[in-house]
Amino acid sequence: MTSYLLLLRGINLGKNNKVSMLELREQLEKLGLQTVSSYINTGNLFFDSEKTLTELENVIEAFFLKTYDFSIPFVIVPSEMVIKEVLPSWWSEDAYRKDALFYLKGTTKELVAEIIKEWSLADEDLYLGETALFWLTRTKESYTKTAHAKKITAKPFNQMVTLRNANTFNKLISLAKEKR
């Protein structure tokens, strides 16, 4: 049995793309996933399964297509992989903004590396992790000059990742460790 983290992109933001976490947890259990739980309302779910990652991706993708009239991009990551993610030394610093941008299904670390090598950085740090691109800017004043403001939040890049701020990311790690 393997524990997984399922991260959904673009749900429950404002009035669009509403997904009840209670209903989704129940529906995922009906698909055969075990010990399904969620953290906050923005699509952070944990579950256990004996299925392979590819089988899980196929089952969940088919379920979303059948159940919702809007697209739900997602990524499934083994919880242990997220726990073991090597974080940059600056991740523990106080900063204006820090984000973990998880690579969605079909996006790879190598593809992101190719894209970001062309970016001009302004008072910010980037780190390519195995599961996510980690990003930091230290001050509010410099944020509008950063790649985050100019590139990460713009299409097409923002459709390749699902963003979790540092507080959410750190809580997900803590919950994953508790579930071991």
Q: pLDDT (tens digit, 9 = 90+) per residue, 96-153? A: 999 999 999 999 999 999 999 988 888 899 999 999 999 999 999 989 888 888 888 8
Segment 40-69, tens digit of pLDDT? 988 999 999 999 999 999 999 999 999 999
Residues 8 and 64 both lie in one domain: yes
Tokens representing 149?
């403001």
What sign has the CA pseudo-torsion 97, 100, 106, 109?
positive
Distance CA 29, CA 173 (A): 22
Distance CA 127, CA 45 (A): 24
Residues 78 and 68 both lie in one domain: yes
Residues 87 and 27 both lie in one domain: no
Model pTM?
0.94
Q: 13-17, 27-31, 96-100, 110-114: which range is least confident on average?
A: 13-17
Q: What residues make up the domain containing 99?
A: 83-166+173-178
Residues 125 and 77 both lie in one domain: no
Residues 38 and 106 both lie in one domain: no
Could you say which of 82, 116, 141 is where a domain stops? 82
Could you say which of 64, 82, 100 is where a domain stops? 82
Distance CA 130, CA 108 (A): 9
Residues 12 and 50 both lie in one domain: yes
Print burial letters for 26-50: b (CB count within 10 Å at least 16), e (below 16): eebeeeebeebebbeebbbbbbebe
> Which CATH number characterizes residue 55's domain?
3.30.70.1280
Residues 87 and 161 both lie in one domain: yes
Q: What is the pLDDT of residue 124?
A: 92
What sign has the CA pseudo-torsion 65, 38, 53, 29?
negative
Residues 40 and 87 both lie in one domain: no
Could you say which of 82, 108, 135 is where a domain stops? 82
Q: What is the pLDDT of residue 153?
A: 85
Average pLDDT over residues 145-167: 90
Q: What distance, in Å, lies between the first and last C-alpha atoms of the chain? A: 11
Overall number of domains in the chain: 2
Residues 16 and 59 both lie in one domain: yes
Residues 17 and 48 both lie in one domain: yes
Residues 69 and 137 both lie in one domain: no
Judged against a pLDDT cut of 90, whether residue 13 lies above it is answered with no
Judged against a pLDDT cut of 90, whether residue 162 lies above it is answered with yes
